[in-house]
Amino acid sequence: MDARLDQYKEKMNKVIDNLKEEYATIRAGRANPHLLDKLRVDYYGQPSSLQAVANISVPEARIIQIQPWESKMIKEIEKVILASDLGITPTNDGKVIRLIFPELTEERRKDLVKDIKKKSENAKVVIRNIRREANDSFKKMEKASEISEDEQRLLEDDCQKLTDSFIDEIDRVFDIKSKEILTV
C-alpha cells in the first residue's frame, strides 16, 4: 500500500476505534464496567474517573459493584450515577454501591440494535468522507503535476479498496454487537 494513503488509513482506524468505544458503553443486559468509563466524580476539586476513586467489580452477570476507597465518596458517586444516562438507580449499604441491571425486554433489545445500526451508518459516512478527502488531495497532486494521471488512478483505486475493507470491518463489529444484544 502506498505511503500517501497512511494518513487516511490512520483516520479510518480512529473511526473504527471510536465506534468500538461507543458500542462498549451500550449495555446488553449484562453488567459491563465500561458503562462507567465516561462518568466523572469530584474528588478533592478534581474531576476523576470512577476507576480512580473506587474498586469496580462484577460479582454477578447483572450486577456492578463499586467500592470507593473512601466511604465519603459514596454520596458523590451515587449522585453522578443518578445524573447519568445509565437509567439505573444505585443502592448502597454504607460501604459498597451496587448497580443492578434488569433483564432487557425484547422491544428494548430491538431499539438498542436500531441505535447501534445508526452509529455504524454514521461511521460509514465518516469513512466515505475520508475517502473523498483523500481523492480530492490526489486530484490536487495530479493538477500540480506532483503525480501522473495513472498514479492518481492507482491511488484512488487503493483508497477505494481501503474504504471497502473499513466498511466491512464496521459491518463485522455491528454484527457482533447486535448478536450480543439480541442474545437472551
pLDDT digits (tens, 9 = 90+) for 28-87: 666 778 778 888 888 888 888 888 888 988 888 788 898 998 888 888 888 888 888 777
pLDDT over threshold 80, residue 96: yes
HSE (side-chain half, CA atoms, 13 Å) at 62: 9
* Average pLDDT value for the chain: 88
Q: In this prediction, what percent of the chain has a pLDDT beyond 90?
A: 38
What was the pLDDT predicted at 27? 65
What was the pLDDT predicted at 23? 84
Q: Count structural domains, the chain.
A: 2
What was the pLDDT predicted at 28? 65
* Distance, CA of 30 to CA of 41 (rounded, Å): 24
The arithmetic mean of pLDDT across residues 84-101, rounded, is: 84
* Distance, CA of 67 to CA of 138 (rounded, Å): 54
Are residue 148 and residue 173 in the same domain, yes or no?
yes
Residue 178 lies in domain: 3-24+105-182
Q: Dihedral of CA 73/31/28/106: which sign?
A: negative
SS3 89: coil
Are residue 43 and residue 94 in the same domain, yes or no?
yes
Are residue 110 and residue 178 in the same domain, yes or no?
yes
The per-residue b/e assignment along 32-49, b for 16 or more CB within 10 angstroms, e otherwise, is bbebbeebebebeeeebe
pLDDT over threshold 80, residue 154: yes
The arithmetic mean of pLDDT across residues 174-184, rounded, is: 85
134 pLDDT tier (thresholds 50, 70, 90) = very high
